[in-house]
Structure 1
């Protein structure tokens, strides 16, 4: 309980809650649409924006947001073309973002920047501006999904049926790609570029062990995400290890523990 006296730990707890809400909502759509590879591509493409920000002196997160959003729209546009496969389009932006990030970081004037904070994250360094960004995104996502959840579910599971029903499939796909890019950038300070994809998929995989309902997966993945973040924070504090990696490690442990419990229960029920 003594940890709660520190402002940085209070920010970390609040950031964990907000990040779990954002990733719980967006990640459920990612898992259901099988967009994990796309999310990985956008995550690494944002590194180009970070390098550009360090080179030009503007906010790296702002430039990473622009890179991620443009990459998301570019992948969505290229994947609809008949002359390019979706995985090829993702690979293009993935490689381009990483290459530009390394080049701009190398050319940055002054001392070489510490890229580990962007690559692996550190939730203990988030400030009020990061919390406001996460809070605003969480509210917008919650309202949007509350109003459009049935349409989103229809598109996530059967795009052709949704198109036959006259639903705005193309528009909502672009909107969801925008939200995916924003969710990725907003979580960079927490777990970093390398690990953010795990925060968008592991809690949802854990929730999917117990329910197949889209709405329930969202709610349960938020809970799992919060528990994983809290456990990772405590593990990071007591073992003095990076917080981003600790959060993902605990989340994976929770997944395997839940999977083992489910297997035991199914085995006993079968007997």
Structure 2
């Protein structure tokens, strides 16, 4: 019989993985991959600070991630540098802060499972409260995509054209980035801070091998993200390995299998077309 802890972990992992897969695809289409990458490490730095100060790591990590999403645009404008350059600058700063906060943390805290959970993820960290909040965020996320899909899809297709049509591109972009920051913070509890960005972009890369439409890619990446998390959690539970690493291995395995299958199918289609032309 499946224990309540494992069941909660599987449910939370599937939801978080699905949200990460969807978010990774959206960020990739909006060319905001580096920003999402930076937000993941901002959440990690915030979580490390929470260990030092004894605060709630979800709140601290979320503040760091949301602050990053809000500040990056104005920062790149003020400094007259590209958004990618500003993102990677903050990424370097957050990495440095993470290790500083961890080293400065009290000895008992530094040697506790909390540090391992933040860095590598832990199925033991899943609580009913965490699960309820995660489900609430997922409902809000899906509702926003459903209600404003017309405008969001136009931004994903061509931001300049969407702006010319009267869509408030900045508002929707920042809204999606803030939601992405919240998702990253909650996924961090499962995958760990060093690997959470893998769950954002490996399912997205896999979906490109399968789908051609935007809706198809978002749906496929969501399913693959959820499956990757479920496989990783089960591997971690059975083999007693870090859950974040197992999730990434699961996602990478699905990506490799999909890429090989896609290549075989394409080669057969091309070969069939050549035979038809030859005949």
* TM-score between both structures, scaled by the size of structure 1: 0.92
Partner of 1:156 in structure 2?
156
Partner of 1:247 in structure 2?
247
| DSSP-derived class of the 1:34 partner | coil
| DSSP-derived class of the 1:166 partner | coil
| DSSP-derived class of the 2:81 partner | coil
Q: Closer, same or farther in 2 for the Cα pair 1:156/1:82, shift >3 Å?
A: farther
Contact map agreement 1:207 1:221 (CA 8 A) in 2: yes
Shift of the alpha carbon at 1:100?
A: 2.5
Contact map agreement 2:52 2:101 (CA 8 A) in 1: yes
> How many Å separate the matches in 2 of 1:146 and 1:217?
15
Once superposed, what is the RMSD of the aligned Cα atoms?
Answer: 1.7
**Runs of 4+ more than 3 Å apart:** 79-82
Q: Closer, same or farther in 2 for the Cα pair 1:102/1:166, shift >3 Å?
A: same
> How many Å separate the matches in 2 of 1:49 and 1:230?
26
- Is residue 40 of structure 1 aligned with residue 45 of structure 2? no
Which one has more relative contact order, counting CA pairs under 8 Å at least 6 apart?
2
Shift of the alpha carbon at 1:180?
A: 1.3
Partner of 2:91 in structure 1?
94
| DSSP-derived class of the 1:84 partner | coil
- Is residue 215 of structure 1 aligned with residue 215 of structure 2? yes
Contact map agreement 2:36 2:180 (CA 8 A) in 1: yes
> How many Å separate the matches in 1 of 2:97 and 2:171?
29
> How many Å separate the matches in 2 of 1:79 and 1:214?
29
Shift of the alpha carbon at 1:34?
A: 2.5
> How many Å separate the matches in 1 of 2:270 and 2:136?
47
> How many Å separate the matches in 2 of 1:179 and 1:43?
12
Partner of 1:132 in structure 2?
132
Shift of the alpha carbon at 1:39?
A: 1.3
Contact map agreement 2:195 2:244 (CA 8 A) in 1: yes
Q: Comparing 222-231 with 135-144, which one deviates more in the overlay? A: 222-231
Partner of 2:120 in structure 1?
120
> How many Å separate the matches in 2 of 1:126 and 1:104?
24
Q: Comparing 80-89 with 156-165, which one deviates more in the overlay? A: 80-89
* TM-score between both structures, scaled by the size of structure 2: 0.90
Q: Could you give the per-residue CA deviations for residues 180-200 of structure 1, whole angstroms, max 9, x where no partner exists?
A: 111110101110111111111
> How many Å separate the matches in 2 of 1:174 and 1:128?
30
Where structure 1 has 5 or more consecutive residues not aligned to the other structure, the ranges are none
Contact map agreement 2:34 2:88 (CA 8 A) in 1: no
Partner of 1:64 in structure 2?
61
Where structure 2 has 5 or more consecutive residues not aligned to the other structure, the ranges are 272-279
Which structure's CA Rg is the greater one? Answer: 2
> How many Å separate the matches in 2 of 1:124 and 1:261?
36
Q: Comparing 30-39 with 249-258, which one deviates more in the overlay? A: 30-39
